[in-house]
């Protein structure tokens, strides 16, 4: 278990999809879980992990977020080791704060240390995908370009609208 993460004991025992009666809230969760719209969530009905980070990607970069999701799993041990060595016990808090900053301000306000961190993360993800031997690591290139420009797709869309109005935004958002 990651440093700083505490496992909580449930008085009724751990929740189980096999026996929802063991935990009263589990029945309710199973009924309503398909309404939860987190970035990632377990789908107990399908036995899968659903990742929603790929929604609303620019057409030409449509596979980048999915490739990153797979890469994060492939490179998880290396990523965890790097993050724990960089942030120590405060790893989770540091990543949570950086997530909040990027979600609020986009990429333009990243400091050099943050850019370096994301470059290392993307390099480890690249290596994780390369180990699969399917050439998927090339799909991460748009993420490196975003980082170099310090501009995410939402920022690019706002820039297109600000400079050329609705016609500029529509031209920017063209598929194919």
Identify the H or E element spanning 126. helix 112-132
Among 14-18, 50-54, 154-158, which is the least confidently predicted range? 14-18
Query: Does some domain include residue 45?
Result: yes
- My answer on whether 119 and 34 are in the same domain is no
Would you say residue 160 has pLDDT above 90? Answer: yes
- Tell me, yes or no, whether 36 and 123 share the same domain: no
User: Are residues 31 and 110 located together in one domain of the fold?
Assistant: no
Domain membership of residue 166 (yes or no) is yes
Q: Is residue 13 part of a domain?
A: no
Q: Are residues 157 and 123 in the same domain?
A: yes
Q: How far apart are CA 167 and CA 138, in angstroms?
A: 31
Whether 3 maps to a domain, the answer reads no
Q: Which residue has the higher pLDDT, 97 or 32?
A: 97
Give dist(CA 87, CA 163) in Å, integer: 40
Domain of residue 83: give its range: 59-172
Q: Which residues pair with 51 in a beta bridge?
A: 40
Are 141 and 162 members of one domain? yes
Residues 142 and 70 in one domain: yes
Same-domain check for residues 33 and 94: no
Mean local confidence (pLDDT), 134-159: 95
Q: Per the domain annotation, does 105 fall within a domain?
A: yes
How many residues are there in the chain? 176
Residues 147 and 137: their CA atoms lie apart, in Å, by 16
Please tell me the pTM assigned to this model.
0.72
Total domains, the chain:
2
What confidence tens digit (pLDDT) does each residue in 125-141 have? 999 999 999 999 999 99
User: Binning pLDDT at 50, 70 and 90, where does residue 40 land?
Assistant: confident
Top-confidence range, 39-43, 47-51, 80-84, 96-100? 80-84
């Amino acid at each position: 278990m990651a440093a700083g993460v505490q496992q909580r004991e449930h008085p009724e025992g751990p929740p189980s999809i096999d026996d929802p009666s063991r935990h009263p809230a589990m029945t309710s969760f199973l009924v309503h879980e398909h309404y939860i719209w987190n970035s990632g969530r377990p789908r107990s009905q399908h036995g899968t992990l659903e990742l929603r980070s790929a929604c609303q990607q620019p057409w030409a970069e449509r596979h980048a977020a999915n490739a990153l999701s797979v890469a994060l799993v492939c490179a998880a041990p290396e990523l965890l080791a790097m993050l724990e060595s960089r942030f120590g016990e405060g790893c989770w808090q540091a990543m949570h704060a950086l997530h909040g900053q990027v979600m609020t301000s986009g990429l333009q306000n990243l400091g050099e240390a943050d850019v370096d961190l994301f470059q290392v993360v993307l390099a480890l993800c690249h290596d994780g995908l390369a180990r699969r031997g399917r050439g998927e690591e090339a799909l991460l290139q748009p993420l490196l370009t975003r980082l170099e420009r310090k501009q995410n797709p939402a920022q690019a869309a706002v820039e297109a609208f600000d400079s050329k109005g609705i016609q500029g935004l529509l031209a920017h958002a063209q598929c194919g």
